[in-house]
Structure 1
Amino acid sequence: MTERIRISTGSSWEPVVGYSRAIRVGNRVEVAGTTAVRDGKTVGIGDAHAQTVCALEIIKESLEKVGAKLSDVVRTRMFVTDISKWEAIGKAHGEFFRDIRPVATMVEVKSLIEPELLVEIEAVAIVSE
């Protein structure tokens, strides 16, 4: 049986909702929808670029905790509350993935869990062993 490695960021939502920030099974890593929340506070209120950078930094840290790297990411999904901010969000995404170029999806959603959150990002990685 393949070991399941779970990572938590300590978010207050994780135990209430019953999820992990990231899970690695074998060479596959799934990272849950990640927003710009650090220590219970939203980072970059009103700034889609800053929120995207923060979410991607959290994703990077989560990947590293399970032995993966950004270069292992094969897919991202970006849920945004205002698609007109796509360039700022896309620019931040490109700062992390310009040379990696995973498949990516960006869709507008009505809202996220807190009104000040503008972006939520999921990632899938396959670790080259």
Structure 2
Amino acid sequence: MAQQQGTVLVVEDSPMFRRMLSDMLQALGFTTIQEASSGQAALERLQQQSPDLVCLDLTLPDISGYEVCEHIRATESLRDVPVLMISARTQTMDRAQAEEAGASGYLIKPFTPEELRQQVERVMAARPRKEA
């Protein structure tokens, strides 16, 4: 499943981690990787374009990943975009809150490229088809 996948928006405040995640996503066949280092930057980018996937860090310097996710779910044109939450937080409560905010998946740092691939495939497969 290496071919495909379109555009991903990576929302992550750590430049090193953003780079690593972008590389992993490219290896999975995503052709365009957009990066945002804050929740606000992510929202501005999402106004311009609807990506095929959003990889969203929970802990951002301005607004939380939860709020960004809620915004995505509340926006008609973005509602069906899969959101993969990424966090170093392992608490069940964090995962539950992410699901409540509308996250499609939850990945705990640190993770392997294989764990990322499995989560990405799962959330991409679950999204509603556009031509329905």
Q: By the TM > 0.5 criterion, same fold? A: no
Report the structure number with the largest CA radius of gyration: 1
Specify which structure has the higher proportion of helix. 2
If asked which structure has higher relative contact order (CA below 8 Å, sep 6+), I would say 1
The TM-score, its normalising length taken from structure 2, stands at: 0.37
The TM-score, its normalising length taken from structure 1, stands at: 0.38
Specify which structure has the higher proportion of strand. 1
